Chain A
Amino acid sequence: MVPFPQSVREVVPWSAVEPQSVAAEAPPAGALAVETIGMTKRFGSFAALDDVSMKIEAGGFHALLGENGAGKSTFVKCIMGFYAPSAGSVLVGGREVAITNPKGAQSRGLGMVYQHFTLVPSLTGAENLVIARSHVPAVIDWASERVALDAFMGRMPFRLNLDRPVAELAAGEKQKLEIVKQLYLKARFLILDEPTSVLTPAEAAEVLGLLRAMADRGDLTVLMISHKFREVEAFARSVSVLRRGRLAGGGRVGELSRDDMAAMMMGARPVRTVAGRSAMPAPARAVLRIADLKATDASGLRPIAVNDLAVHAGEIVGIAGVSGNGQKELADVLGGQIRATGGSVIVGDQIYGGRRAQSRALKVRFIPEEPLRNACAPRMSVAENLAFRAFDRRGDDPARPPTFWLDTGAMSRRAKDLIARFKVKTASSEAPIATLSGGNVQRVVLARELTDPVDLLVVANPCFGLDFSAVAEIRARIVAARNAGAAVLLISEDLDEILELSDRIVVMSDGRIVYAVPAAEADAQVIGRHMAGHHAPSATA
């Protein structure tokens, strides 16, 4: 069971929680100003960061916009001492400092919340907080530490259970714990790397609202990496945009329009938009039917119970939900990674268990999240990875009979054809697939799964971590598969993606389907409330 105890509360201004206590706690309190001058970072001949000068005033809430690979992460890692910049300097509180490692950054009051979690999974929240301090006593007196932690948490905007191992926390709770950890370490300048990617819209508003209130009170300076214009406009006070390692522009929020920001981010370049969806004749046949399905993940902690879910030919059903609410387990059951303990999955008119022969016969395609890890053999070549579905068939052709010998000639010809058709950027078809960028790995997987006729396509988080142009192309491919008559089950933690692509939207929370709505009638606020666990107990899809 993964309860989601964090109810969505109204955004309480920080000052209303408790006015003076933080200032009384940390001796050198108050927000820090940080400025970079001519920051440059080269990897070999490639300049990941090129002469970036930026000033973030004390108590500011500054957003850093940019595509993947624009240098945002490199920039903040140079500030935090992960990378030694090739040129340029950092001023903290108006004085030039040399920060050579993250510990040094911490001791100067700089803290960072990473996109991936840095908490130790098997340790409890309390253990994670205490061990992160720079001075930990040799023997930890948990009784007095608990008193101190309770007092500290009393001043925190989030309520968290510190006694459970972090591995059992939902993603949103982990993210809050990461932020709490930085405040516990007395960070006065906080860097957030895409902080809301794992939060519901309401949670995101709560977290960012509270941090903005802290900034407004002069307790904290925030630098937030984001690519969501909505968040930037709602919470940031100023913004800088990076493009290809250079500062492309910036200004005060409110003086820049979304078009201005998009133009700075993308430069002059056409961007493909999602291909239009063609209308489907009304009573389509149900390709996937799930009835009373029960399963649990490998840790046994996240049971799912999906009572009734159908996906019809020519429609995209989007499953929305906050990470860790059973979507991954549902995808794993459909992909055959975990066994269902009850109920049935029916594709066409046959029971489906994710076996290779079944998926071939019923034309089911599964594209799991993190494709490099879950859908590829990283050190095998692009050509070999492209051949996974039919390498054991004559001529690398799934329609022909099985064979003992690999037809490497046919594999290589097919690989070159697919690389050209799907515009995969790779040194050659023989390069290990791990050497490709995330977007190109996903193109390879799509090329492998979508070239033959497809009846059912299950996709999980297909665009996670990819840049704008790759995202647009991959979404267009998914819509094209739908238009060609495939039933598509799209599982995504990105609500904008669900809203953009789906014909029908269902919400998963706590392992169950709690809400279903046709896309035309969907309201992001209502969906967000259901994602956060606010729903009538009897509601089903």
Chain B
Amino acid sequence: MTDIGLWSVLIAVIGGAIRVSTPFLFVSLGETITERSGRINLGLEGTLVFGAMSAYATAVLTGSAWAGVAVAGLAGGAFGLLHGWICRFPRVNDVAVGIALMLFGSGLAFFFGKPFIQPSAPQLPALAFGSWSDLPQIQAALRVNVLFVIGAALSVFLWWALRNTRVGLIVRIAGDSADAARAMGYDVDRVRLLATGAGGVLAGIGGAYLSLYYPGSWNEGISSGQGLMAVALVVFARWNPLACFGAALLFGGAGALGPALQSVGISQGYYLFYAAPYVLTLGVLIATSSPDRALAGAPGELGQGK
């Protein structure tokens, strides 16, 4: 195991980054769309858990992992639309609705998911980008799931679409100045409804990755707050889809540090290494913060008091 020494730690961290980052990536891309339109959807944690459950159940029942991904996306979209629909009523606060939907989504997933904890479902396919190497560690690390590739492409596409498409500009206008959007004749509530729905679709697909690839089973502790962390990643990434990709990789890599060190025999401070992602996030946020500067890139309508 130690024949390639500490390199194996680095390889394991890279492999972990690719493996662990995918749900973060999908949820944070979804939340970026939603927040760029001027709403915060904290319910994506619940959407992620429900997506994981519905994907797994569908895969068990139909025998097709991709059918599971599709159902998870649809279920996530329904949760997003529900959030967007409730928020269009006067004096409804999007953060409070998000917290309610987070608990609702998780609870519903636990309720319907009980029968699916035992059976095993077909898994999502992975691409063997490491086949050029003879080292099993590199081969393992570079087994990349299709959803990761799709997510990476999606972050580039969203970054492009926010500047180069009509829909992208309309979402940004709704998020930056609702008055300006209304003056141009756009229905701000509708834009936000659809943006929240689209965000839900992506979060649901992120959930499908959890149950159908890594860790690859359904149980009630499957998310352990990854949906909430991904929402925080959006702020960390300054609402930029490309930065979301980098932040998700960084976060995933930090999460893989503990198991990787353990695998080469370093087990002291085991639990502290598991806290690495959170310590890293706090550290970067403190390092990049300033008491005198406003957060650059924040959509102007976010958190506008209702």
Contact = CB atoms under 8 A, between A and B. Distances in A.
Interface of A: 101-103, 118-123, 127, 130-132, 136-140, 142, 296, 298-300, 338-339, 341
Interface stretch (B244-252, B253-261, B291-299): B291-299
Contact of B293 (A121, A136, A300): A300
Nearest to B293: A300
Nearest to A165: B176
A142 B169 CA distance: 13
Which 4 pairs across A and B sit closest by C-beta, in order of nearness? A298-B294, A103-B185, A136-B166, A131-B169
Interface string B170-192: 10110011011101110000000
B167 interface: yes
Contacts of B268: none
A152 to B, nearest CB: 18
Given A118-B179, A120-B177, A131-B170, 8 more contacts: A118-B183, A119-B180, A120-B176, A121-B300, A122-B172, A123-B173, A140-B169, A299-B296
Contacts of B185: 101-103
Given A139-B165, A142-B164, A120 B173 contact: yes
22 contacts: A102-B183, A102-B185, A118-B180, A120-B173, A120-B180, A120-B181, A122-B176, A122-B300, A123-B176, A131-B169, A131-B184, A132-B184, A137-B166, A140-B165, A140-B166, A142-B164, A296-B292, A300-B292, A300-B293, A300-B296, A339-B292, A341-B292
B170 A122 contact: no
Given A101-B185, A131-B173, A132-B184, A299 B179 contact: no
Interface of B: 163-167, 169-170, 172-173, 176-177, 179-181, 183-185, 291-294, 296-297, 299-300
Nearest to B165: A139
Contacts of B184: 103, 131-132
B304 to A, nearest CB: 13
Nearest to B164: A140
A122 B293 CA distance: 17
A122 B299 contact: yes
A155 B261 CA distance: 66
A136 B297 CA distance: 25
A136 B166 CA distance: 6
Contacts of B170: 131
A35 to B, nearest CB: 25
Contacts of A102: 183, 185
- Taking chain A's interface residues, is the majority helix, strand, or loop, or is none over half, making it mixed? loop
Contacts of B180: 118-120
Nearest to A122: B176
Contact of B176 (A121, A140, A298, A339): A121
Contacts of A136: 166, 169
Contacts, number: 64
Contacts of A127: 163, 169
A131 B173 CA distance: 9
Given A120-B176, A299-B294, A131 B166 contact: yes
Contacts of B179: 118
Nearest to B296: A299
Nearest to A117: B180
Contacts of B163: 127
Contacts of A139: 164-166
Nearest to A101: B185
Contacts of A300: 292-293, 296
Contacts of A123: 169, 172-173, 176
A503 B169 CA distance: 49
A338 B294 CA distance: 11
Contacts of A118: 179-180, 183
A299 B163 CA distance: 22
A251 to B, nearest CB: 34
Contacts of B296: 299-300
Interface centre among A120, A121, A140, A338 (most CB of B within 10 A): A120
A208 B40 CA distance: 43
Contacts of A132: 184
Contacts of B299: 122
A504 to B, nearest CB: 30
B292 A121 contact: no
Contacts of A120: 172-173, 176-177, 180-181
B167 A138 contact: yes
B293 A138 contact: no
A91 B234 CA distance: 51
Contacts of B172: 120, 122-123
Given A121-B300, A122-B172, A338 B292 contact: yes
Contacts of B177: 120-121
A361 B179 CA distance: 43
Contacts of B291: 339
A179 to B, nearest CB: 16
A298 B183 contact: no
A300 B300 CA distance: 17
Contacts of A101: 185
Nearest to A135: B166
B241 to A, nearest CB: 15
A139 B166 CA distance: 6
Nearest to B298: A122
A169 to B, nearest CB: 15
Contacts of A339: 291-292
Nearest to A82: B183
A138 B292 contact: no
A376 B179 CA distance: 24
A103 B184 CA distance: 7
Contacts of B165: 138-140
Nearest to B186: A131
A80 to B, nearest CB: 10
Contacts of A296: 292
A142 B162 CA distance: 13
A101 B166 CA distance: 22
A298 B292 CA distance: 6
Contacts of A140: 164-166, 169
B176 A138 contact: no
Contacts of A131: 166, 169-170, 173, 184
B194 to A, nearest CB: 15
Contacts of B297: 122
Nearest to B183: A118
Nearest to A341: B292
A339 B293 CA distance: 10
Nearest to B184: A132
A122 B302 CA distance: 13
Contacts of A299: 293-294, 296
Interface centre among B170, B177, B296, B299 (most CB of A within 10 A): B177
A434 to B, nearest CB: 13
A140 B163 CA distance: 8
A131 B297 CA distance: 20
A130 B165 CA distance: 11
A476 B170 CA distance: 48
Nearest to A132: B184
B282 to A, nearest CB: 23
